[in-house]
Amino acid sequence: ENDLYMSTLKLGQIDEDEYFGRVLYDELVAILKNIKTEHRKDKTTSDGAMIDNLMKELEDAQKLEGSADEKKIRTALKTIGINYDKLTEDERKLIKKILYKTAMLKPGTLAGNRGKHRR
């Protein structure tokens, strides 16, 4: 009987990174669709290919393996033509170190750093 309750509890658990990644993704897609709809007839608006491309990249990022930070890094590198999978482990560490100095990533956001405070 206890096993049934424990199994039910385990099935009800949600991965925090996946949840917030999905919430963020849904919000970004809604914002992009709204922008596209509101500015469709503007003279300075493109045909929408750039927004469609960005939405596709966001969808592709959601399907990737890894943490939310790794997904952000992969997406950022892809936009400048760098394949994350072809980087060495040292190069990946260096890029993470550099990107933690930006607003894109903040130190302590990786799952292994949760609850640790810098002194």
Query: What range does the domain containing 24 cover?
Result: 15-107
Q: What is the pLDDT of residue 90?
A: 95
Q: What is the pLDDT of residue 62?
A: 77
Total structural domains in the chain? 1
| Residues in Cβ contact with 88 at an 8 Å cutoff, skipping those fewer than 6 apart | none
* Mean pLDDT on 86-92: 93
Note whether residue 81 is domain-resident.
yes
Note whether residue 3 is domain-resident.
no
The CA-atom distances, in angstroms, between 111 and each of 1, 2, 9, 44, 63 are 33, 30, 21, 42, 19
* Mean pLDDT on 108-118: 49
Q: What is the pLDDT of residue 111?
A: 46
Note whether residue 118 is domain-resident.
no
Average pLDDT, the chain: 78
pLDDT greater at residue 22 or residue 88 = 88
Note whether residue 10 is domain-resident.
no
Q: What is the pLDDT of residue 11?
A: 79
pLDDT tens profile 40-73? 777 676 666 777 777 787 787 778 777 888 888 8
pLDDT tens profile 4-14? 888 888 878 88
Note whether residue 102 is domain-resident.
yes
84, pLDDT greater than 50:
yes
